[in-house]
């Protein structure tokens, strides 16, 4: 019996070590790809501001282009995430998202302290990310139960945001932004914890989830700062 236990123990330890190494690899690749995805996002936002291409679109056309482009890219990412095309498609998606963000960025930059507001929103988003990344390595409880409620919250935010494209209500925009910051901060924590726990093994999928949450947190912070600084 003792001999049997001794012969199986090294194998079990080796399996655990391999599993931990795999989780660390996915998490490390997720962080690197997430950092890389910021480059095309900034380029897309800069191009949009410089050319005014998104500002020239009306609210309805802008919404149609955004929905078609975003869902089209996400479908393509899902299809290519296990191939060599996965990373380029994801980076193309982040460029598109930066381009669509340029409309809001241009409005905020047009304010007297616009550059400072953009940098403040960026710093706030970075703080949220590092805070949630730290929590993901500390929190031990299963968050899947809370995730169900957060998904409902995200769907309500999505519907309200579409409605506000036409309503143009500042009060509703503030409410959406505040709720979005809370909901998508949780999703950063949830997605990173899933990678740390070995539940998500594809770093492209993991990066997409965290990127979308960061994008929404930044956009919401920027909208709040813009509203607060506007006349």
* Structure token digits, residue 125: 């988003």
Q: For 86-91, which contacts have Cβ atoms below 8 Å and span 24 or more sequence positions?
A: 86/204, 87/33, 87/204, 90/33, 90/37, 90/204, 90/207, 90/208, 91/36, 91/37, 91/39, 91/40
Q: Measured between alpha carbons, how far is 16 from 13 in angstroms, rounded to an integer?
A: 5
Q: Measured between alpha carbons, how far is 23 from 25 in angstroms, rounded to an integer?
A: 5
Of 209, 210, 228, the residue nearest 220 (C-alpha): 228
Model pLDDT, residue 231: 55
Q: Structure pTM?
A: 0.88
- For residue range 181-200, what is the model confidence (pLDDT) as tens digits? 999 999 999 999 999 888 99
Torsion, Cα 197 202 203 209, to 10 degrees, reads -80
* Structure token digits, residue 196: 């740390």
Q: Where are the domains of the chain?
A: 2-229
Helices (H), 52-113: 59-80, 86-109
- For residue range 39-97, what is the model confidence (pLDDT) as tens digits? 999 999 999 999 988 888 877 788 899 999 999 999 999 999 999 999 999 999 999 99
């Amino acid at each position: 019996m003792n001999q049997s236990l001794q012969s199986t123990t090294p194998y079990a330890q080796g399996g655990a070590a391999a599993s931990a190494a795999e989780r660390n690899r996915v998490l490390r690749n997720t962080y690197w790809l997430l950092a890389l995805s910021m480059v095309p996002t900034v380029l897309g936002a800069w191009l949009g501001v410089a050319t005014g291409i998104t500002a020239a679109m009306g609210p309805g056309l802008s919404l149609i282009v955004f929905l078609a482009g975003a869902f089209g890219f996400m479908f393509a990412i899902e299809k290519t995430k296990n191939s060599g095309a996965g990373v380029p498609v994801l980076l193309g998606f982040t460029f598109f998202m930066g381009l669509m963000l340029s409309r809001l960025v241009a409005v905020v930059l047009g304010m007297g302290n616009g550059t400072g507001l953009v940098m403040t929103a960026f710093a706030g988003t970075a703080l949220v990310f590092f805070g949630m990344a730290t929590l993901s390595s500390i929190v031990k409880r299963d968050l899947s139960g809370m995730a169900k409620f957060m998904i409902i919250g995200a769907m309500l935010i999505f519907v309200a945001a579409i409605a506000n494209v036409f309503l143009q209500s500042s009060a509703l925009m503030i409410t959406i932004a505040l709720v979005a910051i809370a909901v998508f901060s949780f999703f950063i924590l949830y997605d990173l914890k899933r990678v740390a726990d070995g539940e998500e093994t594809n770093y492209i999928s993991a990066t997409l989830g965290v990127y979308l949450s960061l994008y929404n947190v930044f956009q919401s912070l920027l909208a709040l700062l813009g509203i607060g600084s506007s006349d």
